């Protein structure tokens, strides 16, 4: 099992949903960077459970403990080890799943691959593993901001059939953090919240889309032909639990247009050549073009629903499963910082590769 991402800036994660702790090791962090521990904790707070009625009621403080690689508030260039302890796991909620496979989960595939699985909340396949990604991503964000002036902002742009119609340039993205669903349009946010609460009351779940904007990225970041920047971002996003799709720029919606409509070059009022981010996504030929990088990530409805479902046991016998426990009716509000974190991990790694090549 590969548990490491990155080339120069790497993150290795460990831990299970109902184990004693989740943790990781970040390697390749440039030395001399001021490390804001409060900021790292703030990022974890954005991901943690129990933060609103729209999320699971599991109560975890998710306090990060930084174990190494930082001295007198600065990165030393050595590996940064960290853990976040689990405290509110109700493992008995999963006793009925010991010999059953939950539909649309990784239970069956983990069992077939390893011949053993941790049935308590999915073990390693649980979305609780993303804690480590958020810690690593927070460190990457700090370095990106300090070294390159790069900022990353993700937000919920669609829940079910409720979607933002405005371009991100016409939105105040900071507003996303003022509501529970993390949508920068307050009116749409209320609609999304009502939809999530309605499916929650039915014991069901709903999916949607998270959009992400990266500003300040210089031109020339990316490694063709097989390590294009957008392919690396896509790989990172598709490694997140419940993600089913990734596109950037005009993406899938652009397939209905003609080539004449897809030409993204224009001359601005200062006579400078620019590209339209909503078409190019800030990447051409796998290399950043200096404009904003813009992409979207599709999340499926959470697979655990509080409704009886047909399934099979380890012997292949048909049966019915009735999940218990505390689960998100919609993963998007807590997934926003995870998307940002994976983008930060990928982009810092590629910036350091570009720096090394020069």
- Domain boundaries, given as residue ranges, for the chain: 4-357
Q: In this structure, what token pair is assigned to residue 180?
A: 């529970």
SS (H, E, C) the chain: CCCEECCCCEEEEEECCCCCEEEEEEECCCCCCECCHHHHHHHHHHHCCCCCCCCCCCCCCCCEEECCCEECCEECCCCEEEEEECCCCCHHHHHHHCCECCCCCCHHHHHHHHCCCCCCCCHHHCHHHHHHHHHHHHHHHHHHHHHHCCEEEEEEEEECCEECCCCHHHCCHHHHHHCCCCCCCHHHHHHHHHHHHHHHHCCCCCCEEEEEEEECCCCCCCECCCECHHHHHHHHHHCCCCEEEEEECCHHHHHHCCHHHHCCEEECCCCCEEECHHHHCCEECCEECCCCEEEEEEECCCCCCCCCEEEEECCCCEEEECCCCCCCCCCHHHHHHHHHHHHHHHHHHHHHHHHHHC
pLDDT at 24: 98
Residue 206, phi then psi, degrees to nearest 5 = -145, 150
Question: Distance between CA 301 and CA 298 in Å, rounded?
Answer: 10
Against a cut of 0.85, is the pTM above it? Answer: yes
Q: Are 297 and 247 in contact (CB under 8 A)?
A: no
pLDDT at 12: 98
pLDDT at 58: 66
pLDDT at 272: 76
Q: Are 179 and 173 in contact (CB under 8 A)?
A: no
pLDDT at 273: 67
CATH architecture of 4-357: 4-Layer Sandwich (3.60)
Question: Distance between CA 289 and CA 285 in Å, rounded?
Answer: 9
Q: In this structure, what token pair is assigned to residue 185?
A: 């349009």
Q: Are 21 and 135 in contact (CB under 8 A)?
A: no
Cβ neighbors of 164 (< 8 A, separation 6 or more) are 157, 158, 171, 183, 184, 185, 188, 211
Question: Distance between CA 126 and CA 141 in Å, rounded?
Answer: 24
- Give the distance, in angstroms, between the CA of residue 295 and the centroid of all CA atoms in the same chain: 12
Three-point CA angle 314, 317, 319, nearest 5°: 100
Three-point CA angle 204, 207, 208, nearest 5°: 155
Residuewise pLDDT in 10s, the chain (358 residues): 689 999 999 999 999 888 889 999 999 999 999 999 999 999 999 999 878 888 776 667 899 999 999 999 999 999 999 999 988 665 566 677 778 888 888 888 888 888 888 877 677 888 899 999 999 999 999 999 999 999 999 999 999 999 999 999 999 999 999 999 999 999 999 999 999 999 999 989 999 999 999 999 999 999 989 999 999 999 999 999 999 999 999 999 889 988 877 877 767 778 776 767 778 899 999 999 999 999 999 999 998 888 888 888 888 888 888 776 667 899 999 999 999 999 999 999 999 999 988 7
Report which of 344, 336, 43, 39 is spatially closest to residue 173, judged by C-alpha positions: 336
Q: Are 12 and 81 in contact (CB under 8 A)?
A: no
């Amino acid at each position: 099992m590969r548990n490491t991402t990155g080339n120069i800036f790497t993150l290795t994660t460990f831990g299970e949903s109902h184990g004693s702790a989740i943790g990781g090791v970040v390697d390749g962090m440039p030395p001399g960077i001021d490390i804001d521990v409060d900021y790292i904790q703030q990022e974890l707070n954005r991901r943690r459970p129990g933060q609103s009625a729209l999320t699971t009621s599991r109560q975890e403080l998710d306090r990060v403990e930084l174990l190494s690689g930082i001295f007198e508030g600065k990165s030393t260039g050595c590996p940064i080890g960290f853990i976040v302890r689990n405290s509110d796991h109700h493992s008995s909620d999963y006793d009925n799943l010991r010999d059953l496979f939950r539909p649309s989960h990784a239970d069956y595939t983990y069992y077939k691959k390893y011949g053993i699985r941790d049935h308590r909340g999915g073990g390693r396949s649980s979305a609780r593993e993303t804690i480590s990604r958020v810690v690593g991503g927070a460190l990457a964000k700090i370095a990106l901001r300090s070294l390159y002036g790069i900022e990353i902002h993700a937000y919920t742009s669609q829940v079910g059939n409720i979607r933002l119609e405005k371009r991100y340039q016409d939105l105040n993205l900071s507003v996303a953090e003022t509501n529970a669903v993390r949508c920068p349009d307050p009116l749409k946010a209320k609609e999304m919240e009502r939809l999530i609460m309605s499916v929650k009351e039915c014991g069901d779940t709903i999916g949607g889309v998270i959009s992400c904007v990266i500003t300040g990225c210089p031109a020339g970041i990316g490694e063709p032909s097989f390590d294009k920047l957008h392919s690396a971002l896509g790989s990172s996003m598709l490694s997140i639990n419940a993600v089913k799709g990734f596109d950037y720029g005009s993406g899938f919606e652009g397939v209905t247009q003609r080539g004449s409509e897809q030409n993204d070059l224009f001359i601005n009022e200062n006579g400078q050549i620019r590209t339209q981010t909503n078409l190019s996504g800030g990447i051409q030929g796998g290399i950043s073009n200096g404009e904003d990088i813009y992409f979207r990530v599709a999340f499926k409805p959470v697979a655990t629903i509080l409704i009886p479902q047909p399934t099979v046991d380890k012997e292949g016998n048909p049966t019915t499963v009735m999940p218990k426990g505390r689960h998100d009716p919609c993963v998007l509000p807590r997934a926003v910082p995870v998307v940002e974190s994976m983008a930060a991990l990928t982009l810092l790694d590629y910036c350091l590769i570009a720096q090394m090549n020069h």
